Amino acid sequence: MVEKREKSWQAGPLRIRVTLPGDEPAGPKERLTVDRIVDAAMSLMAEKGYDAVSMRSLAKELGTGPASLYAHVASKEEVDQLVLDRIGAELHVPAPDADHWDEQLRQVLRDMLALYRRHPGSARAAIGMIPTGMGALRTMEGMLAICDAGGISPQASAWFCDLAAAYVSAIAVEEAIWVQRDNTTASGDDPDHTALDEQLRALMESLPAAEFPLVTSRAGVMTAGDGDDRFEFGVAVLVAGLAAVSEKYR
Amino acid sequence: MVEKREKSWQAGPLRIRVTLPGDEPAGPKERLTVDRIVDAAMSLMAEKGYDAVSMRSLAKELGTGPASLYAHVASKEEVDQLVLDRIGAELHVPAPDADHWDEQLRQVLRDMLALYRRHPGSARAAIGMIPTGMGALRTMEGMLAICDAGGISPQASAWFCDLAAAYVSAIAVEEAIWVQRDNTTASGDDPDHTALDEQLRALMESLPAAEFPLVTSRAGVMTAGDGDDRFEFGVAVLVAGLAAVSEKYR
DNA sequence: ACCTGAACACCGTTCAAGT
DNA sequence: ACCTGAACACCGTTCAAGT
């Protein structure tokens, strides 16, 4: 009834896999591999969000039962870890330039957020995960090199890698959760979360001015800016703060 | 078969509820209220971790079925929100002191983390949640006042509230996830996650030195310090960074 | 208005049995 | 070695029915 509908081949270092539209249930005779499981997890995540990725939905996508996956991965958590490792390998940190170390560092953080955005749902998998994939380690190496070029102390550089990763993934998770809510609530109408900002602003303005003089009078500035504006502020604070405290952590 | 085994009464502003040991299934005649649901969620979370809190376990704790909860709350998410609102009310921000605004701000962030730690599992509920409870709003008001005393621009102050909340809750979630893992893996032996640090350090040192000169040579400093040391660094970076960039966001 | 039992449509993981 | 069906012990939420 179902023939081989999926094609995959190796072309040098690239693994190419093509699935024609309407081929969702996939060929059941294709051998299960860790790579195929990770592929399926990433495409399912991108298409339907993190919550749609389960051992069962993954198995269905691959034309098998959930128990079969456990011959290749130990747990759902391992699948998440593998997805993150694969994504992490996409980030490339430039060679350090001492004159622009701070801008380079800010750019790495922007690229990290862009990576999560490019793979919707991936941020949710990153919650509480310590990244130990080769990609993440290479990113660390690159960040340390840039910090060195900027004269940042080794201890401050080391802890900054953690701090930056925690901040970026926190922002990415927050965004991922709105996006998911927007997708399930409003039926693809318009993706502005400005409605939510407007609501929050109204809430702040409606507070008793005597008890909340600042929140009420600054409701506008509190809800100002989009995600990028706020992230850019965060990135600026982090890098400026690093420069400022570096000496204290020598 | 089961009599009223739970006692609760009002004593001034305090709500006191005593459940004798062995009374877990609770009296089934006590009327269900939102407050009782939130009480149950908080104690279940503290005792058995966030994952143990479900609409079903909550119902069992309250001596009823899961469907009954929906007469008082709309969803599990609302329960989480209510728990967070209650916890948020515990934080108190001091009146601003212009000479020590930066130390005051750092202390608020420390207190925020302490709050999550005092209610284990609560951090997990905070993921992707925009805090709109009265407690959170009062905390914002207090932080804005301290920033004002420090001469920070309104825009920088406003965005800093967000940034700080995101950072602290990211750290709290990370900690909550170790704790949960430690509790389920090692059977209450010793709660040092230093073993994990040691493992990470070994991994870094085992990397090829040619490709990872900094990660390998600085594995020690990368895994140095406990949670408090690293958090203190983060807090120092954030507040110093705020002071540094404030003028750019006037 | 509040509560209930039963059901719906899901989870992750295990395990004996097959090939 | 790899895969499978069936089961175990769970989820959140809905809804008609009761009081």
**What are the tens digits of pLDDT across the range A191-217?**
456 778 888 999 999 999 999 999 999
In this prediction the pTM is 0.86
Interface test with A, best of B105, B168, B233, B249 (most A CBs within 10 A): B233
Q: Output the pLDDT for position A46.
A: 93
Residue B194's pLDDT is: 73
Min distance B47 CA to chain A CA atoms (Å): 20
Domain ranges of chain A: 1-74, 92-245
Amino acid of residue B224:
A
| B54-108 pLDDT tens trace | 999 999 999 999 999 999 999 999 999 999 999 999 999 999 999 999 999 999 9
Which of residues 206-235 of B have CB within 7 Å of strand D? none
- Identify the segments of chain A with pLDDT beneath 50: 1-28, 187-191
| Chain centroid offset of residue A95 CA | 23
Distance B54 CA to D15 C1' (A): 20
Residue B188: pLDDT above 60?
Answer: no
Rounded mean pLDDT, B186-190: 46
- Give the residue whose CA sits closest to D2 at C1': A71
What's A52's DSSP letter? G
Position A246 scores a pLDDT of: 97
Greater confidence (A229 vs B27) lies with A229
SS3 A11: strand
Selection from B90, B166, B146, B91 nearest residue A214 by Cα: B146
- Chain B's closest residue to A249, CA to CA, is B233
Which tens digits make up the pLDDT trace of B107-159? Answer: 999 999 999 999 999 999 999 898 899 999 999 999 999 999 999 999 999 99
Q: Strand D positions with any atom < 7 Å from protein CB? A: 2-7, 10-16
Residue B47: other Cβ atoms inside 10 A: 12
Is the CB of B70 less than 7 A from some atom of nucleic acid strand C?
Answer: yes
Can you give the pLDDT at residue A24?
A: 37
- β-strand pairing of B6-11 with B14-19: antiparallel
**Residue whose C-alpha is closest to residue A164's, from B176, B225, B241, B248:** B241
Q: How many Cα neighbours within 13 Å face the side chain of B94?
A: 15
Question: Region B210-229: what's the mean pLDDT?
Answer: 95
Q: Where does A92-245 sit in CATH, by number?
A: 1.10.357.10
What's the DSSP call for residue B10?
A: E
Q: What is the DSSP string of A164-217?
A: HHHHHHHHHHHHHHHHHHHHHSS-SS---THHHHHHHHHHHHTS-TTT-HHHHH
Architecture of domain A1-74: Orthogonal Bundle (1.10)
* Residues found in chain B: 250
Q: What is the mean pLDDT of chain B?
A: 86
The predicted structure's pLDDT at residue B186: 52
CATH topology of B1-74 equal to that of B92-245?
no
Strand C atom within 7 Å of B66 CB: yes
Q: What is the pLDDT of residue B143?
A: 98
| B184 confidence band (pLDDT: 50, 70, 90) | low
Q: If you measure CA to CA, which chain A residue comes closest to B167?
A: A167
What pLDDT was estimated at residue B3?
A: 29
Interface test with B, best of A214, A231, A242 (most B CBs within 10 A): A214
